[in-house]
A and B are shown apart, each in its own frame.
Chain A
Amino acid sequence: MTVREQLPAGQRSSGPGSTIGGGVTTPPPMARRRTTGSWRSRLEIAVLTGPALVVFLLFVIFPVVAAAYYGFFRWAGYGVPNQFVGLQNYVTIVQDPTFIAALGHNAVIVVLSLVLQGPIAILLALLLNRKMRGQTLIRVLIFIPYVISEVVVGTGWSLILQTTGALNSALQNMGLGALRVDWLANPDVAIWTLMGIITWKYVGFAVILFLAGLQGIPEELTEAASIDGASFWQIQRRITLPLLGPTLRIWAFLSVIGALQLFDLVYIIWGQYVASTAGTSTMATYLVVNGRNAGSYGYGNAVAVVLFLISLIVALVYQRFVLRRDTEGALTGKGR
């Protein structure tokens, strides 16, 4: 229920293009009501929205616009940017093999996040969606890695995964010494290590989301099917999963956007220098390393613009082709 109801909100939010367009071209139908003319009402609106607008414009909108502007300059971050280089930064980005590699890693992370977390979370949610002892406790425990900060998770995992760390030692103790590898630095392994950590940290979020979605499915449907002799798995495949569709689609959307903008875990575990040689660098770590850490603020901003545009395109395409049917009914139902 929750997810279904909340979809329109999350939905509208993630598609600024369409909403902005709608808001600007069609003025609110009831713009002229008795309250509009009153100065008192206007004052109230100004007082209510003013502080939020000022903070939001200053710290969100202005920096985003500025990023697009600075991206055309070579600029070390001091004074006014005056060395206009046109599209040179963007040309450099596209030609930099390090960036292309990071982009590739992002693509791998996007796909593997969906492929690994999706089935695991669906299976767990289906299994846990029953009355059993300790149900609440199980859900809370599965969710714990999601709540712990990325820094703590990253610090802990990097200690466990060192060549002389706990995982290799445990493998040795279990007689699986042959499986020991350099989990973090070996470029053949590192991306899978990262995926393991990502799955571990975020799968609980997916499970909780799916469980909420499952509770919105009317019992009468599954009950009727089971009276007709359908097995547990038949019911899940024919009834539950299709009805879980909207939840799955919004989860996939969040997962994709999160994977595109992944930063904290990689930066903390692999540090700023190792990530690219280990094959785990992302666009966001590239941005920070080559922008701020290198003192090339103009270039960093250009990277930010690229990152944003890629996310935006993915979001819009996803909305256009995947999410649309979920929101159409919901939006009209909301009477907006």
Chain B
Amino acid sequence: MAVEALPSSALRRPRRGRPMRHSAASNAVVSVIAAVVIVLMLAPVAYIVIGGFRTNSQITDSPAGFPAPWVATNYLDVLTGGLFWRLVGNSLIVGLLTTLGVVVLGLMASFAIARYEYRLRGAMYALFAAGLMFPVTVAITPLYIVVKNLGLTNTLAGVILPQIAFGLPTTIIILVPFLRAIPAEIQEAAEIDGASRLGFFWRMVIPLSLPGVVTVGILAFIGSWNGYLLPLFILNNPSTFTLPLGVQQFSSQYSVDTARVLAFTSLSMLPALVFFSIFQRRIVGGLTGAVKG
């Protein structure tokens, strides 16, 4: 059941036409409303992107104006400096390893919970599910102390490990129904053919649960990419900063250089937007299904 449910996405066009016929006039009205909404949604984003092409004196003279002339120096400065790429690198490392950890650990635990019968199964599931009630905000102070005692402050691992832990509840909640929905016949057939349960896991479960795995992976990556509070506590050394911390530091450090801050900010949202446009179907499908953290 959930297997069919998860991948279905709001972005996908309805399979059949809607029941009501809409007149051309009503379609026009809706188009106008949609256009207005989209302008409202995109105007701030556009302001950041376009503002990066102006100079500070242009911005001071006319804060809401367009570039005249367009200058690329802000963007070029950011792109040629090492800071931006270091932040992107750190964010990529943290995001990819978090995703990997969440998927691997989550899939293994979900498989045990979904396909084995044992005494503590229900309690284990409840334990992970309860984790959804603890956002990182609540646990942040003692979490910082745990990370400090492990000697992991100012290391990327100090962000990655807690992020994996806090990503597990959503992952397990999404994957367990997925894995449970795999028909027992397939497992029996594999057993008859001589596969062990772990062999069944490798050969059958992982390929069959791929849509769910992709969804949880994307959720974990976006959560990590945008994460702010945890890196704020764990990372104090600028060389370990992730993109959100870097953006904030840059904007306070160069607060007089508005144009450069705008260029830096718009470049830092670019990776998220590219990632989103590649995976938009899965992201939206996953978000409608999953509980957001």
Interface residues of A (CB under 8 A from B): 1-6, 9-10, 12-14, 16, 19-20, 22-24, 26-28, 30-31, 33, 35-36, 41-42, 44-45, 47-49, 51-53, 55-56, 58-64, 66-67, 70, 77, 124, 127-132, 135-136, 138-145, 147-153, 155-157, 159-160, 164-170, 173, 200, 204-205, 208-209, 211-212, 215, 219, 222-223, 226, 232, 235, 254, 258, 261, 263-264, 268, 284, 287-288, 291-292, 297, 300-301, 304-305, 307-308, 311-312, 315, 334
Task: Determine how close the nearest CB of chain A comes to the CB of B113; give it in whole angstroms.
Answer: 7
Question: A13-B173, A51-B108, A156-B44 known; A131 and B13 CB under 8 Å?
Answer: yes
B284: chain A residues within 8 A (beta carbon): 139, 143, 208, 212
B41 touches A142 (CB 8 A): yes
Q: What are the residues of chain B within 8 A of A173 when measuring CB–CB?
A: 64
Q: A55-B168, A152-B268, A156-B47 are in contact. List 7 more A-B contacts (CB 8 A).
A: A13-B169, A35-B118, A59-B164, A67-B139, A130-B22, A160-B47, A223-B19
Q: Is the Cβ of A263 less than 8 Å from the Cβ of B45?
A: no
Q: Can you give 17 contacting A-B residue pairs, CB < 8 Å? A: A3-B289, A4-B5, A6-B288, A49-B113, A52-B106, A55-B161, A63-B141, A70-B141, A132-B22, A148-B272, A149-B272, A155-B247, A169-B64, A208-B287, A209-B288, A292-B233, A304-B140
Complex: chain B residue closest to A221, CB-CB = B19
Q: Which of A130, A144, A211, A305 contacts B42 (CB 8 A)?
A: A144
Within 8 A of A (CB), among B24-74: 26-27, 30-31, 33-34, 37-38, 40-42, 44-45, 47-48, 51, 60, 62-65
Q: Which of A6, A168, A254 contacts B63 (CB 8 A)?
A: A168
Give A179 Cβ to nearest chain B Cβ, in Å.
14
Interface size class of B (residues with CB under 8 A): 35 or more
CB distance from B202 to the nearest CB of A (A): 12
Q: Using a CB–CB distance below 8 Å, which chain B residues touch chain A?
A: 1-2, 4-6, 8-11, 13-14, 16-20, 22, 26-27, 30-31, 33-34, 37-38, 40-42, 44-45, 47-48, 51, 60, 62-65, 101, 105-106, 108-109, 111-113, 116-119, 121-135, 137-146, 161-162, 164-166, 168-170, 172-174, 177, 197-198, 222, 225-226, 228-229, 233, 243-245, 247-248, 251, 258, 261-262, 265, 268-269, 272-273, 276-277, 280, 283-285, 287-292
